[in-house]
Amino acid sequence: MARFALALIACGLVAVVAATPADNEFLTKQNEIVKLLNKVHELNFYQDQVTISKDYDPLAHLDSYKNVRVVKELVKELKNGRLLHRGEIFNLFNAEHRREMILLFETLFFANDWDTFHKTACWARDRINEGQFIYALSVATLHRPDTRGIRLPPAYETYPHLFVTSQVIHEAYAAKMRQEPAVIHMNFTGTVRNPEQRIAYFGEDVGINSHHSVFHMDWPFWWNEEKYGVTKDRKGELFWYMHHQLITRFNAERLSNDLNEVEALHWEKPIVEGFYPQTTYRKGGEFPARPDNFQFQDLKDIRIADLEAYEERIREAISSGIAISALNNEIISLNSTDGINILGAIIEASSNSVNPNYYGSLHNLAHIMLGRVVDPLGKFGMPPGVMEHFETATRDPAFFRLHKHIDNLIKEHKDSLLPYTHEELDVDGVEVKNVEVDDLETYFEEFDIDMLNALDDAAGLPDVDIKARVQRLNHKPFGVKIIADSAAEKTVTVRLFLAPKYDWFGREVQLDVQRWKFIELDKFAVKLHAGENAIVRKSSESSVTIPDPLSTRALRKLVDDAIAGSASLEVDKDYRHCGVPDRLLLPKGKENGMKYTLFVMLSDFEEDKVNDLPHDYAYGGSVSYCGTINHKYPDKKPMGFPLDRKITNVDDFKVTNMYFRDVEIKFNPIH
Ligand code: CUO
């Protein structure tokens, strides 16, 4: 189909982005954060930060912090040598490591002003473990009102070891020793003898890895809403939905590569796919490898029986439709739309769990079990596995199996709810007449990762330009045009989903099965006028994706130029680091074309509306899977609506404000 002229027929679709040019105060903050996260494995080296670190004493400025006790405790533990040392591996799933990191986070978060925050960060950078420092500083920067809109450097540049293979690191060192610039080609793990390697480009995509790791910084499972005064709206539900979407996306990728969909793991059955990460910690050795068909093992402190017991109780809650709260054994119904939020928090478990003692922490414990599976008793002193870091977890096929298991539990809950009624689906007077889509074409491209931060510095050995070159999936930009009639002027929410039309066996998938496989492509609100409307939306505007972040070098240059007045840095207070990379919006498809179902639904925005903001407010751009930090989740409907509940009668389900059509995705191998 010919590409249609977007500009001529667009239906008032320029989203409201709250961006303004950065002033000097913001540019200074932006500059300081980038400096703090540059070469964090080394001590402060920018002279101003060195001086602050040397001279600053948090105890001499206690009146500059909201929570004095935390500051005193952090300093006391540091003086007593009780904190994780620099160079050691920080593992967020380790309760002690986490407790120490939270002390630092709270010290930073509760600093009364930017000046105190900045000085504390310079001070901590020389004294606290760098993994704890990166994580605490990042989460504090994302959540402090005075650092809203600051851009963090890409995670794969701050800590490249978690994103590239050992071979790349070795070659990068060799190039630096030779003082020769280099571009090192990175292969995906495994060989052609391992079918899983066919979709390694997805699980090992640096953009997916950083989306996942930042999601868990935006929505930390340890977040204390009361203490921090920041509510995490629908966090339990979002935990499910973001991971559900990762699985549907992964499965669509598998089908594109002639692999069957991922199966859930079970505590008693072998973990079919082994995994050899071919990745090394900066210090502490290689990430442990797992052979095929390995069984779960009891750890010193977590037993398989614990997981089974927690899961039994969770299943009991799902089938009975009630959870038991720790607060006076109060009964909480799960049969409302909020049930998923309660259940998500219980399963993760986050600090929002209504009863962590009773329901445990199924998901977090499973991450630890999988991470330590090959050295369960610590006999060989192996470092944590890839499943114990959000940056590396999606590399392991077991990640998707674990989350599929959890997704199945949630599906049991969703299937227990009543299907949506005609009234809940129908929008009076609105009809979608047609949906046109540009050609959908995917291809692989090359991308370079700056290895500057991966390598140690030594006197007389200056930095040289060393890059890791990876293959990554991309697609041609495309547009969707929706022709809709409306009886009157009305603002609607437009929901766009995509799912494979056929399963692995080549059978057409029935809607009630297919509904759980739909990838949310976009969601936005638009004003219809009475009569016929043409709604045009570009792929780059999608509410699930973010564009490529600026590299550290480009970010520093932009800030320098903006300070010098020769460029302008736009500040969006809702700026998001979480989000699927723009280029991964579409699954790969096949060379000869692969059929998908495109589903479009318009719903009544006045019923969906949550925040008192313009209907086209952009929320930083990736709100669908990542929510928003500064506002409530801007859609009252359950995430995944209307495909999250059973469709028992397709005729009842299909209303005029919906539209289904086939589309085809072609992979171009010679781009
Ligand atoms: Cu994101 Cu399990 O929650 O990896």
Please name the fold of domain 38-151: Hemocyanin, N-terminal domain (1.20.1370)
**For residue range 328-365, what is the model confidence (pLDDT) as tens digits?**
999 999 998 899 999 999 999 999 999 999 999 999 99
Q: How far apart are CA 116 and CA 108, in angstroms?
A: 8
Angle between helices 114-125 and 47-55 (to 10 degrees): 90
Token pair in block for residue 528 = 């219809």
Catalytic residues: 348
Second-level CATH architecture of 189-415:
Orthogonal Bundle (1.10)
Q: Which atom of ligand 1 is nearest to the CA of 390?
A: 4
Type of residue numbered 512: D
Kindly state if the Cβ of 199 falls inside 6 Å of ligand 1: no
Ligand 1 centroid, distance to 467 Cα (angstroms):
29
Kindly state if the Cβ of 212 falls inside 6 Å of ligand 1: yes
DSSP structure class, residue 617: B
pLDDT at 15: 62
Q: How far apart are CA 420 and CA 647, in angstroms?
A: 8
Q: Which residues of 82-106 are buried (b: 16+ CB within 10 A; e: fewer)?
A: ebbebebbbbbbbeebbebbbbbbb
Domain boundaries, the chain: 38-151, 156-186+444-473, 189-415, 422-439+476-667
**For residue range 639-667, what is the model confidence (pLDDT) as tens digits?**
999 999 999 999 999 999 999 999 999 99
Kindly state if the Cβ of 577 falls inside 6 Å of ligand 1: no
pLDDT at 298: 97
Phi, psi of 146, rounded to the nearest 5 degrees: -85, 0
Q: How far apart are CA 361 and CA 349, in angstroms?
A: 4
**CA distance readout (Å), 389 to 93, 164, 264, 265:** 8, 14, 21, 19
Q: How far apart are CA 199 and CA 214, in angstroms?
A: 22
Kindly state if the Cβ of 214 falls inside 6 Å of ligand 1: no
Token pair in block for residue 612 = 């008192």
Q: Which atom of ligand 1 is nearest to the CA of 215?
A: 1
What's the pTM value of the predicted model, to 2 decimals? Answer: 0.96
Residue 4 pLDDT more than 50?
no
Token pair in block for residue 233 = 């709206």
**For residue range 10-67, what is the model confidence (pLDDT) as tens digits?**
444 556 666 889 999 999 999 999 999 999 999 999 999 999 999 999 999 999 999 9
CB within 8 Å of 419: residues ≥ 6 apart? 645, 646, 647, 648, 649, 652, 653
**Substitution site in 91, 221, 241, 243 for ligand 1 pocket (most atoms within 8 Å of beta carbon):** 243
Instruction: Judge if 189-415 and 422-439+476-667 fold alike in CATH terms.
Output: no
Ligand 1 centroid, distance to 391 Cα (angstroms):
10
CB 139 within 8 A of CB 33: no
Helix, strand, coil percent values for the chain (each to nearest 5): 40, 20, 40
Ligand 1 centroid, distance to 376 Cα (angstroms):
21
Q: Where are the beta strands (DSSP E) in 451-569?
A: 466-475, 479-486, 490-500, 519-528, 531-538, 545-546
**For residue range 85-143, what is the model confidence (pLDDT) as tens digits?**
999 999 999 999 999 999 999 999 999 999 999 999 999 999 999 999 999 999 999 99
Kindly state if the Cβ of 467 falls inside 6 Å of ligand 1: no
Phi, psi of 596, rounded to the nearest 5 degrees: -130, 160
Token pair in block for residue 242 = 């973001």
Q: How far apart are CA 373 and CA 312, in angstroms?
A: 22
Residues listed for the chain: 671
DSSP structure class, residue 435: E
**CA distance readout (Å), 620 to 19, 497, 545:** 10, 20, 10
Q: How far apart are CA 201 and CA 397, in angstroms?
A: 12
CB 271 within 8 A of CB 373: yes
Kindly state if the Cβ of 389 falls inside 6 Å of ligand 1: no
Q: Which atom of ligand 1 is nearest to the CA of 387?
A: 4
pLDDT at 1: 42
Q: Which atom of ligand 1 is nearest to the CA of 216?
A: 1
422-439+476-667 is a CATH 2.60.40.1520 domain: yes
The residue among 4, 176, 14 whose CA lies nearest residue 617 is: 14
